[in-house]
Structure 1
Amino acid sequence: MMRLVTLLAGLFLWPCLVQAAVVAESLMILQSDLDQPTDVAVRNDGRVYVLDGVNGRVVVFTRGGERDFSFSRPGSGPGELSLPVGIAINAERVFVADTGNHRIAVFDVRGEFVRNISLAGEAPPEPVAVALSDDLLWWTDRRNHRLCAYDLRRDVAALCRGKRGEGEAEFHFPFQIATDDSGYLHVTDVLNGRVQVLHPRGPFVYDMGRFGVGPGELFRPNGLAFSSDGLLLVGDSYAGSITLFREGQPASLLGDREGRALRFLAPVGITVQGKRLYVVDAGRSRVEVFQLQAQASAEADDVLVRNAPTASRRRCVICHRSWASPLANDEQLGDKTVPAVVSPRMCYSCHHGVVVDSRPRIGRGGQHPDAHHRREKAPHEKQDTQRKDKISDAFPRLADGALSCGSCHTPHGQAQEGQATLHAAHGNPWLRVPNHDGDLCQQCHASKLASRLDPEHPPRGVNHPVGIYLKPAPEGSVDRKAYARDEHLHKGLPERLGKRGGTLDSQTRMTCQSCHQIHGGEGDAMTVLPLPNAELCIECHPRQHAVDKKEARKKGVHPVDFKLDKAVNITGKRFMRVTCFTCHSVHSGKPDTPLLREDHRDGKLCGACHEAQAAVVNSDHDLRLTAPKSRNLAGQSPRQSGVCGACHQLHGGKPGEPVLHAWERHAYRGEEAALARDTLCLDCHRQEGLADGARITHFSHPARDLILRSDPKRMPLIGANGELGEFGAMGCVTCHDPHRWIPPKKGGDTQAQETPVRRPGNLTGNVINSFLRRRGAKDSFCVDCHGIEAVLKFKYYHDMRVRDGGVNYLK
């Protein structure tokens, strides 16, 4: 008789709700670094197994709420999980709906991997919930819209029922499963807004619940469980409530002793053990635990009787909540009204895994700024300046001009021929404009685009280019610059970027989404990998990176990721550490530079950190003036490379050699012995060298059995390893500073000399300039050995007439 009453209850309109004879008292919250969990199972000893799917693991808590242990990890190998959604447990085994891997993973209760259960279907199955009933393991298939059973005793698939639809035993995204005392299966039918009841052998019996947003109605039914006294608890992931059903009729919303309905952000999984209720709130990344207590029942107020929406209308109300009867209120954000249809809550009610799993994107990390994800403006943006790029009319905005989810996304767009998403795994192209080549971003960010394919975009150096092919250039290709030079990029996007959501376009070219993620990005720039330590840059540019100064010397690159002695200011931005972004700006570089914050040709960029060396500008070592036709190793003239680039190359120096030299080296053929460091100077100061007019032939200093010591800040010596220091041998740099024509006055500053650009040609030097570090020998270590003769020997050091030819001071 009870079943007959229950069956008939689903056929009539609901005149009222009956106050349930149960209330919930909060006991504890289980959190412990969970990330949008979706399900929970409880062992007989009270241990709580929480499915932390985004992290690919199960986290186990004690009955008292303490974290006990966790097991599994993200991946596709044995014992690994890929965005799992459902979990169930018996006395010996833990069963996990391993959704992303299209299988059910089995562990023992200690977390040791046991086996995988393979699944089959018309399309690769996506199990989202599991439940145990005797020897059968029931599971729902998100992809194929069906309910299936696996016979654990016989180790074979037993049956599958259902298909996509709105009729009996048809599903529109089936989700969680619960069985009553008689073994009848209850399955939430998410987008049909109901719970279907099926016989243990699979046939449809009846359904309960009505699609809608009013009392007793279900909008996004997700989790369900039976209490010990037969009440069915059904969670609604959009409404944030739990509806109680008794004998097929809605009784009330679950509340506390004061009669206040419990509210959650996004309740998904529900489990009851004894008198305890466990509710997984994915929106708050936690599990709330309640004690269910009996309370005297009473009749509630009358509820408006409404007609059930037609099937066609229900398809619209799935998102257009305001079309329900009576009208539902829109969300309020301060004084701004956001239609419910474009609110994050509406999107998340499907995208938390029950319909499609976007948890790694919309549930975590940075999000594109919109009405719900506003961003503090940087100081330079707080002035009333107009936005550079116009937002395309293709993207509707709210009344105040703010963007919403519906600005870029719509289910009503007409798919164009060949339209597809960038990611092959995304089956729906619900975007307002095609994005198969990553061109959606370009609609609103034209000034950030520098495409190899479009000469009309901003000049080279302003933005990191897109349209670069990550594959080898074809034989005979004219435009080889359109192809990646580094061999490791010929295989496509680096694996780590791909795993984090980065992608190429349909022709393996770089797009905005190679580096950026609209949903789930890192920081304000919404990048695939974090920016502060240049993790993103390193993946494509490992050749230019070094972990420390020692490795930088070995690789022949400028060191990065170290703290400066004092902060520097470059184009109004303060830096205390040197990273890739100290010099480079990916989207605000100076025109015709290698994406540099400051133009490098006049030495200002380098001079921000190397103040003392900035004095080279307009000196004889400024090759723009003294050797304008020369070329560095990159084939650039001094005008092209800039004053510093004529001699130094920051990312292409010869491994192990000092100063990151950028010129062609020549074998030293002089008569006097030369230190390796001296040959750097002698490459130019030789016959037929760039400084042939200032050729040096006499420069060596006796060193055998001689220990020299000098103040390295005033006259550095050269150690055995070529480093400058307190002890060592005398070399060119002991007396000369190649970056300063005139030595600074005692106590003078180290700033570059403010001299006008002069005409090309060499200056005639003398004994008080010529790049000397000092104006004389006074107080130098020369006096220690040479006494009063040091004055002449210092002034005329390179003149053979004052050198003691053949004399060995130390015998």
Structure 2
Amino acid sequence: MLLFAIMALLMLPSAAPAFEMSSKRDCAICHVMWLDDFRTDKETLIDWQPGNVLMKDTQGVVSSEDICYSCHDGYVQDSRHLVWKHNSHKTFVKPSRKVNVPKSLPLSNKDELYCGTCHSPHGAGSAPKGGVEGITSFFREKNVDSSLCAMCHRNEARFTLTNGHPLQVPRGRISTASLNLQGSEAADNPNIVCQTCHKVHGAKGKKIVAIENYSSELCTECHRKQKQVLHSKHDLRLTMSESKNLKQQLPAESGPCGACHVPHHAANKKLWARPFAIVNNPSQMCLVCHDHPSNGNIRQVGVYSHPVNVEPLSNSSIPTDLPLFADDATRNPAGRMQCFTCHDVHQWAPEKPVYFADRDVAGDANNSFLRISNSGISTLCVTCHRDNKPVLASDHNLSVTAPDEKNVSGLTPNVSGPCSACHLPHHAVGTRLWAKDRSAGSSFAMQMCTGCHNRGGAAKLKIVGGSDHPIEVKPDLQAITVSTDPTTGDLPLYDSDGNRKADEKIACLTCHEPHRWDPKTTNAGGSYSFENVEGSPADSFLRMANAPSSALCNSCHRDQAQIIGTAHDLNVTAPLEKNLRNQTVRQSGPCGACHVVHNSPGRIRLWVRRAGPADRSDSVVDSLCTSCHSRGNIAEKKIPRIASHPTDRLIINTALFDKRRGFYTPLFDGNGHRVDIGNISCPSCHDSHRWGFLGNAARPVKILQGSGASKFLRTASYKTVCVNCHAEEAPFRYLYFHQPDKRILRPD
């Protein structure tokens, strides 16, 4: 049996020639010039072309498009709807300088791209993830994650260096079904690759994108939230139809997304498609349109606008839904504030995501591409400016106290929000983003308060302008001390434009914080419903409470603060005594027992007590002392026997004494102003705020009698102007002026 089998095998014809013939015939399906039938002297249907027709180092027409079409016309597989319909990758053109074709992807004998540059039945081609089923793709190289594309389009593949659309990142919400519907060649790939958007054969859009993109259909297939920009004021097809992007395309050509973004070779990492000249200023992406006077029909930000490209006051003050940005315009929690910190440029109204405003509709605090609506209680403003949120629960919330008041934009507080009654983020009329009309005359620093606090203003019931604390004057830093730190000072100074600056002038805002009614509380409730609440020295928008301790006054007037704890501190000696405003000392503070900051009823020194008797018309300053040191008043037990200096002895106070030195003796005219020639009055010798001249220590209250170094005397007895007339008797006449029996110099 075994022998029979061997003999049978030997009788079979040789298999080698049969295999050779079969292989040759299979290859000849494409390599038609290999067929022996062409080796004849007869004419054939296909012209005999033994030389190099298309592909380098080859024979015949094997790599011509006709050979491909001979099978893909439906005879083997119908690929006409893929390859020969719509748009395909360019062929029979020389590669541009923008691509780098490797040697493994050959060009034609004319150095042009052709089908065989990417395809070959002899190549290592595979399916997108390298499966064996991919051999039918006939790729020359494997095409895992569009790696074949990246071999030539290297710049686009290196998107981080060339500002291109990110690759190899999760594709997000776009579904496989959606990609299949648009004919994507990477529908099953979970990441973004070249073929997610581009289709080498049968692409319906230009640049071989899978679908037409004239209305940014391809972009919005993934970026669905940004789709809301279509038909809004940021759809430049409607508002800037003649403007061109970096590729010199009109919005109608590029699509609404392409007017501002391009997928490859953009101006920055946000795929920016418009001019971007200023380095490290991402807000330029907005300002290129909104801060350009030539764009007359586009809303401009104006001269005074909210600062951008600046660091927030503190990172903790910025919530995550108001993002910060790095220099390359990417989100970064440690970045800076930009236009798009507050604005979502793709959505007109934050609470109406599908609402599209007509191009001629003016924006307001409810829309204007804001990330958060700013009407009602100015939610957007107070989200960052939390320290100013207490204004909502105060009389400075004009939606309660002056609901009909309008800002320069013609908007009432209920429409603009309480913050925008006084401040506008864009098109303000001055520093501090001021939103109310300015007038000539007084400085802007003053007008920020007097703009309402005047006879015809929103705060006409709370006006000043009678006898008030001086403003718009530089403080005498030798006499008083104020904080001059322009950023952190408790009592700041201001220039005429309302900017905090060291060594500048006192303004209303030096003592007042207009956003906080009570300095002791951080109450920021939005349910405030009161109106015109009567204030006191403990609140009234003061930067620090001035009662019961007069801390605000003492912060500047530190020499006068030495009154605390002395007999002139009525908190100690007469706590139930009331001033002309019917306030006890505890209610007014020690300083407020005698002085009031606004609308003083007295002639001088902001006096708020009833003036006392005086011996002569030019002794108005004496009446301040006798308001207490007179019969029937709280210091009637301290009425001197002799109270006034002779009036026919004018004192000349310029020859020997310098007012900058501590022992200067001040003289006063009938209006209480200091002069160099005049009569002696009570405050010439007495400093009512300081018990003793030897030091700043306060006099213990239990000590009722003063010594030669106290009694509120201004200086030592031998350093007074008395020596001009009284020579060696001057110390006695000075110390015992009110006790004539002790004035005489006695011999030893």
Greater Rg by CA: 2
Flag the structure with more relative contact order, 1 or 2, with Cα contacts below 8 A and sequence separation at least 6.
1
Normalised TM-score (structure 1) = 0.45
More strand by share: 1
